[in-house]
Amino acid sequence: MDFTHYKKGTAAVWAGESDRTFEGATTTPIVNSVTFAYDDLDRWYEVATGKADGFIYSRNNNPTVRALEEKIRILEGAEAATSFATGMGGISNTLFSLLGPGKRVVSIKDTYGGTSKLFLEFLPHYKVDVKLCNTSDHEELESEIGRGCDLLYLETPTNPTLKIVDIKRLATVAKKVGAIVVVDNTFATPLNQNPLKLGADLVVHSATKFLCGHSDAMGGLLCGKKELVEKVFRFREINGASLQADAAYMIARGMKTLELRIERQNTSALTIAKFLKAHNNVSDVFYPGLTTHPGHAIAREQMSGFGGIMSFSLLGGYEKVKEFLPRLNLVHLAASLGSVNTLAGPPKTTSHVELSDTQRNLLGIPESLIRYSVGIENVEDLLNDLDSALASL
């Protein structure tokens, strides 16, 4: 059944799972078979050579994994989708299959730490020309894209300072020079933002975060133009960064409640950001839903909700952060984000741990910053928790 015309909350539940091909099961089962058997050699050959649909070997394709790929394809309004063992598997496969020696990529300084590491170390090693622009400087980005590039890579809102980049504006310039536009939509999720509708060619997700939603499975998803997705898939099926059926099942299960969770996290995060903004012990709050946020106007245009993540700095620097965080009760002090539980930590030990102090400084990430990923707990309890920890400083 085609779920393209249903609302996202409905598609998140039904897409990829509607065909009761497994003895009437109403949920796509976990198919842990590595290989798929054929009695008819001609049919086997047709499937193996891509002339007929079917499954051969789980490094290439798997029924549980395909159900998940179909869910993200529908939610992002894409022609095609594929998957990876982790979000970084998705990002590195995309960049390494679409770029090569002599190619030029333009991106922003504020990408996720692992992605930054690809731009700062690994891609230059393979003679890719990387230009990282100041994230909020759209003029600089336009001029660098205009000089000619093969790929424009964006992430918005950014990790961890929640900067906002205008996807439509930059995709328009990228189209003029024939560049492929890739957007990491992990923070927003397809519920809050659809980059393909704003001119992107490909959207990549760490499915480990909000899509899974429970911090109990890892995965990466890529969707967009069929020709490009297929190119990345061809590379992934050989380098082997494939998603396992068990993880695909957990992520697809999490995605069924995506709309409920995102609505709750959007509302709670805005309430908490306003509370922190007004607090005397807090020096800065970065949340695109605040009208004082420099990217608020763009976020209003391109997002339907502002997301569940914010970051803030305390007066008193890193010493105060070390005092404050352990005093919170309703939070895991841990890496990652987008779970049903609230998670918090300094980028120095979480998202940007791979980078040196100098690299983090270059990216404008203050030592005293705390990233706070709002869970689905009752917001009054979260506010009380923050309030008492801040009052005790």
Ligand X SMILES: Cc1ncc(COP(=O)(O)O)c(C=O)c1O
Residues annotated catalytic, as ranges: 59, 112, 184, 209
Stretch that binds ligand X, among 29-37, 82-90, 277-285, 293-301 (CB under 6 A): 82-90
- 342 is an interface residue for ligand X by CB under 6 A: no
| Footprint on residues 224-263 left by ligand X (CB under 6 A) | none
Contact 205, 72 (CB under 8 A): yes
Structure tokens at 52: 């007929």
Q: Is 189 in the site for ligand X (CB under 6 A)?
A: no
Toward ligand X, which CB reaches closer, 218 or 379? 218
Closest distance to ligand X from the beta carbon of 353 (Å)? 11
The alpha carbon of 345 is separated from its chain's Cα centroid by a whole number of angstroms, namely: 18
Tell me if residue 42 falls in helix, strand or coil. Answer: helix
> What are the beta bridge partners of residue 370?
312
116 scored as a contact of ligand X (CB under 6 A): no
Q: How far from 6 is each of 91, 141, 217, 223, CA to CA, in Å?
A: 29, 36, 27, 19
For the chain, the C-alpha Rg in angstroms (whole number) is 21
Sign of CA dihedral 289, 291, 295, 299: positive
- Rounded Cα gap, residues 9 and 6, in angstroms: 8
> Would you state the structure tokens that stand for residue 196, as one six-digit string?
């393909």
Decide if residue 186 touches ligand X (CB under 6 A).
yes
Sign of the C-alpha dihedral computed for residues 117, 223, 103 and 177 taken in this order? negative
Task: Give the integer Cα–Cα distance in Å for 79 and 201.
Answer: 10
Q: Are 312 and 282 within 8 A, CB to CB?
A: yes
Q: What is the closest distance, in whole angstroms, from the C-beta atom of residue 349 to ligand X in the complex?
A: 13
Closest to ligand X by CB, 112 vs 287, is: 112
Task: Work out how close the CB of 3 gets to ligand X at its nearest, in angstroms, rounded to a whole number.
Answer: 25
Min. distance of Cβ 35 from ligand X in angstroms?
A: 27
Stretch that binds ligand X, among 80-88, 175-183, 255-263, 319-327 (CB under 6 A): 80-88
By C-beta, is 243 or 379 nearer to ligand X? 243
- Residue 110 is a binding residue for ligand X (CB under 6 A): no
- Residue of 69, 142, 184, 201 interacting with ligand X (CB under 6 A): 184
| Number of residues lying near ligand X (CB under 6 A) | 15
Name the nearest CA neighbour of 71 among 200, 198, 212, 182. Answer: 212
Question: Is residue 206 at the binding interface for ligand X, with CB under 6 A as the rule?
Answer: yes
- State yes or no: residue 135 binds ligand X (CB under 6 A): no
Q: Which is nearer to ligand X, 16 or 114 (CB)?
A: 114
User: Does residue 193 bind ligand X (CB under 6 A)?
Assistant: no
Interaction between residue 194 and ligand X (CB under 6 A): no
The yes or no reply on residue 208 touching ligand X (CB under 6 A) is yes
* 149: β partners: none
**Amino acid identity, residue 134?**
N
Binding residues for ligand X, rule: CB under 6 A, are 86-88, 112, 114, 155, 159, 184, 186-187, 206, 208, 218, 220, 351
